[in-house]
Every structure is written in structure tokens, then in C-alpha cells.
Amino acid sequence: MFANTFRKPQRPYSRSFKITRVIVLALAVITFVGAGLIGYAYKAIDVPRPEDLSTSQVSTIYYNDGTTEMARLGQENRTIVPLSAVPDHVQKAVLSAENRSFYTDPGFSPSGILRAVWLNLTTSETPGGSTITQQYVKNAYLSDAKTLSRKFKELIMSVKLEQEYTKDQILGYYLNTIYFGRGAYGIEAASEVYFGKPVQQLTVSEGAVLASSIRSPAGYDPQNHPEAAKARWDYVMSGLKEKGWITSAQAKEAAYPQVLPIGPGKLNQLNGPEGVIVNRVKNELAALGYDEDKVYSEGLKVTTTISPAYQSQAVAAVQQQLEGQPQNLIPALVSVDPTSGAIVAYYGNSQGTGFDYAGRGYRQPGSSFKPFVLATALENGYADSTLRDGSSPQYFPDRTQPVRNSGGSGCSSCSLKTAITHSYNTTFYGLTYDLGGAKVAAMAHLLGIAPKRIDTGTPTLQETDGTVASGIGIGQYEVTVKDMASAFATFADDGVYNAPYMVQKITNAAGKVLYEHKNAGKQVISPDVANDVTYALDDVASYSHDSLAKGRPSATKTGTVQLGDENNKDAWMVGYTPKQLSTAVWIGTDASDPILTSAGKIIYGAGIPGKIWQQYMDAALDGKPVEKLPNKAVIKATKGSSGGSSSSGNSGNSGNSGGSTPSTEPSSPPAGSTTPTTPPTTPPTTPTTPPTTPPTTPPPASSSSSPSTPPASPPTKPPGQLVPGLLGPGG
């Protein structure tokens, strides 16, 4: 009993021992679970193949030779090079700056990771001390988020990378990804930006400059912080000497090199007309399924259709012909290979980031639209030799004001070939009235005028209610320069329409072809119609004093759009040589102001636009075979009367009947430049209904030919109104 009175005393440490045992057990569990999690993470975290790093490269746009660079697109300026292309002394300079034990360490620094975690969590300081492997992993695969999970992932990926790739491979990947400042990613881009030469040509001192910038590209830029840059360079050079990578003599002789000033990289400049081209290329790429994310990250190589020679010649023609002319004049030029639709030269704006007047600028084409009327007529029983009334002025049931020719010129009965050479408005307005404007619109769409506007998506070549006025025959409705070049190209390729395009081929960074354009031409008019349109246009260039050099024949049409009673606002020259080039040129202004030369002279289609067209075509076709134009028309008329002489090759009076003679065209402005004025504010609702808003009365004109009978009471003019197609000084 006594014995039971006393219990065995407990050891004083038994309670703490239990606590310790629980802690140890918990730590064991945590360690076990942690090890399991690490093991799972090691297997789960995938290291993307460094070969896939090309997904962060810029895309390069080339001219049609596939080698001449036009531009580089991307958020980063990067060019991948193999490690063998980087001189050993440049490699060692990078190691001296960033990781001198690179070839002996395990690829990560545990103490560095702990220090980085602490600094990231407690300060805004960006720690150094990471190995090259860690830096590569962070820059190539991870975000810059300051989180424990990112550092953990960095550690796992660094370990796996070291196990799966050699040190040389990792160094090569690193040198192609690290940022060196000035927009340059990778050692090759940095070499070009800082020294203007490839990395293979860098000296020890130059390599040390690039290596110095890695830690803080902005802080160690030689231009902005020369003292800090020099101090960092000294550190790198000292490391090279200490590691035995250069001799003491080399270190002593080394001097800080001359570095290029900061400026936009020349390969990233999108200034000048080429910038507009690049924007069009980007739009085509998007339509092909290559949106900006892909273009700006996947290192695509895009070969365009633009010829470096033709583009240079187009720019030269525009600049030289506009030299000394008023600054408000705006040019646009598009040149197309008729056999493929490839756009070989493109001038949409002198500023690369400006509005694309060639592809997005809609302007009335004036008389340059008349070949589409002729093509429509040829498909509907008419022929080049068909005789039509070309007298001026003439009245038509669908308008209250007469249509006039330039200066009252005209003929009572002349062939369609003669009428298009002299650009008689009355002939082609009347022909369109008889054919129906809708047929002419349909023909123009077949030939290459886009059915919808690119800016609004609304239908082209018609009124808002869907009707088509007869004014279409003399260029009432707006079109683009690109579409005019494309539509005339259809004539140049025997009636085969090839859609215009700029992207010829796309390859990825590995050289695999992702896309290549395939010609898909479509016969939209018969070869006979194309033949006869070309035949009808063969005299226009000489008549407008814009013939090509060395007697090279061409099929052309001028156009001018009148502004008010005394000025013009748009002037065109469109023409081609068969199977070679189709080129359209436009001159106008932003605000549809009067277009005048520096001497105050009115500009017509045969003037500055014609001279640009002539200079460009002469240069582009120099040395090319001379393609002959048809020497006769082949389509026979089944309606109307025929003069039977349009196939003789003569224009002028050859198509006249009854001994009448066309009025003499004025020597200034040159013939071939007549076009319409701006459409009325309230368009006609049907082709046979007069305009709701009465148009202006044109300036008086005389004609030796008798006009059609006018209405009993000729309408009067309300001030300030314009009528499409009413006037035009010579086509």
C-alpha cells in the first residue's frame, strides 16, 4: 500500500521530448513530401528545346530576290548565329563578365538563389550572381515575376538543362538570347548595333564592351554612361587576364574602342515608301493566317514580289518628276506583272507610316476608265471600227446638262479607236448609256476593280441604292491605283485576271517552306477582246507625248478629274506593255485642291503622271524584249455602223464618215486627259433619271460638229455644283 502511494517520478524532459519528436516527425514528413514534390516537379517541368527559341526571333521581309532585306519585324532585333561564329575571345569576355566558373559549376548557385529570393521579397533590387545557365533559362523561358515559384522553376530547369545539353550548347543558346541594349537581342544583333559589323569581326576590346553591357544594358551604355561603361569594361578585361584567356601584353595594349552612336537600327527603319509596302505585306500575312503574334515572334522569312530594281526606279521617277513642284502634290504608283499579278513596285506614300494612297486612296479615274467601256462594248456587238457620234456638246435623257469634250473638240462620226485616242467624253458617255452602266461596272469588276471598298466594305462602282449611272463611262466612281494597275494587267495578259499580291513565299527560321503563292489566273474576257482593247490604246501614248524610249509600243490611257470650271483635282496615267508590266500613276492632293505645277499650270494626265509613268517604264523595261502590240482588230461589229478603217492602224480621222473631221485637240493641255468632276451630292437614282441636284453649266465650248438636239429650255446652273463627266480637258 505504501508502495502504491508513491509514483515513479517523470523525467523532466519527457514533455519537451514529445514536442521534439513531433517536430522531427513533421520535418520528416515535410522532407519526404518535399522530396516527392521536387521529384514530381523535376519530371513535370519541361525544358523547351533550345532549338525552338526561334519563336522569339524577328521576322525578315525580303525583296523578290530572296536575299535583299527590306525590313525586320518584331519586338526584338535578333539574328541567330552558331557558337562557332562567335570568336573565342568574345565568348571568354562574356564569361569574364557573367560567369567565370561556367565550365566547372553545376549550372546553378544555391546561395545565389537564396540571396535572390531574399532580395526579391524584401527589396526592389535586382540581384546579380546568377549563372549563365540560370540567366538563359530566365530570359528564354520564364517571366520576370519576382516569385518563389519562378525561382524554383528556374532551379529545376537549370538542372535539367545542364543534364540534357553540353556547356557549349548552353553558351551558344545564351549568346543568342541575352539582351545587350539598344534593342539588340543576341550577340550578332548587338555587334551590328554597337559596331556596325558581324560578330566574327569583333576584337577582344569590342567583345568586352558587349559583355560589359549584359548586367545593365542602359546603365553601361557607352554613350549615356561612359565612365560606368569604362569601369565595367576594365573589370571584364581584368577577368580575361586573370583567367589566362588573354596575355598581359594583350591586356596592356587593349584600348576602349569607338562605339557607334545610339540610333534606330537600319534594318528596323520603315521610313520611306518601303514602310507602306511592309504594312501591306503584314495585311496579306494576316489574311494568310499569320497574324501579328506570329509575325513578331516566329522568325519568319517572307519573300515579297517587290523587285529591288523596279522599286528603286519607281521611287526615282516619282522624286525626280516632282522635284521643285508644290509640296501639296501627292503621288502614287503601282506596277504589276500581268502574267502573275505580282506587284513589283509600289509607291503609296513618301512616309513609311503615312496613308497608303496607292492601295487605300479612292479617287475618280476620269477617262482612264474608258477602256472598260470599250471592253464591254466589244462583248456586246461593237468593234473598234464601230462609228459613234463624238460631237460636242451632247444631251442625254439621264441628265439635264450636256456632256462636252475638251475644248469643244469632237467628230460627228468616228470610230471607237479614234474616240478613245482623243478621249471624247460624248462618245463614251453615250456608249455607256446604250450599254447600261451596270454592264460596265460588271466588266470593270471582272477585270480587277475590287467589288468592295477596303476602307468601308461598301460596294464600288455604284450609287448607294445599287444603281449605276452612265457617268461610270467617264470615270465617275472612285477606284484605287492598285486596282487600276491590276485591271489593265488583265488586258496585258490576253484577258487573264491574276489577283494582285505581294507575299511570294513564307519560310520558318529552319528554312521550311510554310507558304508559296500559286498562280491562279482566270480567263475573264476573251483574248480577242483584250487584243482589240490593246489595239485601240496603242496611239494614246504618242498622242499624249508619253511614248516609251526606243520606239517601244505601249497601250495607255490618261485621265483627269475636273474641279470646278477651271481646275483639276486628280490626274492619271495607266498603261502596259503586253506580258511585261502594267503600271498606274496618280497625282492629286489630300484635300482635293487644284493640282498645279510650280509654274501655276494645270496638271493633266499626260503631264506629271505621264512623265512619271514614262520614266519608270523606260527604266524598268530597259534591256527587256520589245513586245509588239496587235496590228489590227479582230472583232467584227454586229450592231451599229462601221467605218472599216480602225484596223488600219490610224486614229485621227480614220474613223470619221461623211467627210467630217474631228476638231483639233488643244496643244495645251495635251489630249488624253479628260475626266469628270466630283459626283453630285444627290446622285441619280436610276441611269435614266436626271440628277436630283442640278449640276453646273460647263464653260462654253465650240464644235464644228452639230450637237444632239438640246432640250427646249436648257437648264441653268446653280452656283457651286459639280457634275461627274460633264467636262474634262482632254482625257
Q: For residue 253, what are the CA distances in angstroms to 93, 200, 237?
A: 16, 21, 11
Cα distance between residue 42 and residue 155, in whole Å: 10
Q: Which of 45-54, 392-401, 501-510 has the lowest mean pLDDT?
A: 45-54
Q: Would you state the pLDDT for residue 142?
A: 52
Confidence of residue 545 (pLDDT cuts 50, 70, 90): confident
Question: What DSSP state is assigned to residue 650?
Answer: -
367 classed as catalytic? yes
710-717 long-range contacts, Cβ below 8 Å, gap at least 24? Answer: 710/393, 710/395, 710/402, 711/395, 711/400, 714/402, 715/400, 715/401, 717/401
Q: Is the pLDDT of residue 126 over 60?
A: no
Residue 565's pLDDT is 83
For 585-637, write each residue's pLDDT tens digit: 999 999 899 999 999 999 999 999 999 999 999 999 999 999 999 999 999 99
The secondary structure of residue 692, as a DSSP letter, is S
Q: Does residue 547 contact residue 541 with C-beta atoms inside 8 Å?
A: yes
Measure the CA–CA gap between 369 and 558, rounded to whole angstroms. Answer: 9
Taking each helix axis as running N to C, give the angle between helix 132-141 and helix 88-98, from 0 to 180 degrees, rounded to the nearest 10: 90
In angstroms, the CA 110 to CA 114 distance is: 6
**pLDDT at 407 exceeding the cut of 60:** yes
DSSP assignment letter at 577: E
Pick from 42-56, 126-140, 566-580, 700-714: least confident: 700-714
Question: Which backbone phi and psi does 263 adopt, to 5 degrees?
Answer: -170, 165
C-alpha cell at 689: 433619271
pLDDT of residue 639: 86
Does the pLDDT at position 655 exceed 70?
no
Catalytic residue, chosen from 367, 392, 486, 660, is 367
Where does the pLDDT of residue 187 fall: very low under 50, low under 70, confident under 90, or very high at 90 and above? very high
Angle between helical axes of 425-435 and 437-447 (0-180°, round to 10): 100
β-pair partners for 585: 333, 573
**In the chain, what percentage of residues exceed pLDDT 70?**
73
Cα separation, 409 vs 424, in Å, equals: 8
Domain at 76-253: CATH architecture = Orthogonal Bundle (1.10)
Topology adopted by domain 271-731: Beta-lactamase (3.40.710)
Reply yes or no on whether the pLDDT at 91 is more than 60. yes
Segment 333-359 shows an average pLDDT of 95
Cα of 102 vs its chain's centroid, Å: 46
| Site of grid cell 549568346 | 175
The better pLDDT of the pair 195, 159 is held by 195
> Both ends of the chain: CA-CA distance in Å?
137
What residues pair up with 560 in beta bridges, in sequence order?
A: 571
**Other CB atoms within 10 Å distance of the CB of residue 396:** 19
For the ranges 255-264, 374-383, 541-550, 693-702, the one whose mean pLDDT is highest = 374-383
Known catalytic residue at 98? yes
**How high is the pLDDT of residue 461?**
98
pLDDT at position 300 over 70: yes
* Residue given cell 495635251 in the structure block: 670
Catalytic residue of the set 96, 98, 297, 582: 98
Q: Return the number of other C-beta atoms located less than 10 Å from residue 717's C-beta.
A: 15
Instruction: Output the average pLDDT for the chain.
Output: 81
What is the model's pLDDT at position 643? Answer: 61
332/314 Cα distance (integer angstroms): 10
Among the ranges given (357-361, 374-378, 652-656), the one the predictor scored with the smallest mean pLDDT: 652-656
Angle subtended at Cα 613 by Cα 598 and Cα 323, rounded to the nearest 5 degrees: 30
Residue 57 has pLDDT above 90, yes or no: no
pLDDT the model gives residue 196: 94
> Domain boundaries in the chain?
10-44, 76-253, 271-731
Orientation of helix 226-242 relative to helix 88-98, angle to 10°: 110
115 φ/ψ angles, rounded to the nearest 5 degrees: -65, -40
State residue 697's pLDDT score: 33
Rounded CA separation 76/56 (Å): 8
Q: Which amino acid is residue 176, in one-letter code?
A: N
Q: Could you report the per-residue pLDDT of 134-155, keeping only the tens digit for each? A: 888 877 665 444 555 556 676 7
What does the alpha-carbon distance between residue 299 and residue 478 come to, in Å, rounded to a whole number?
39
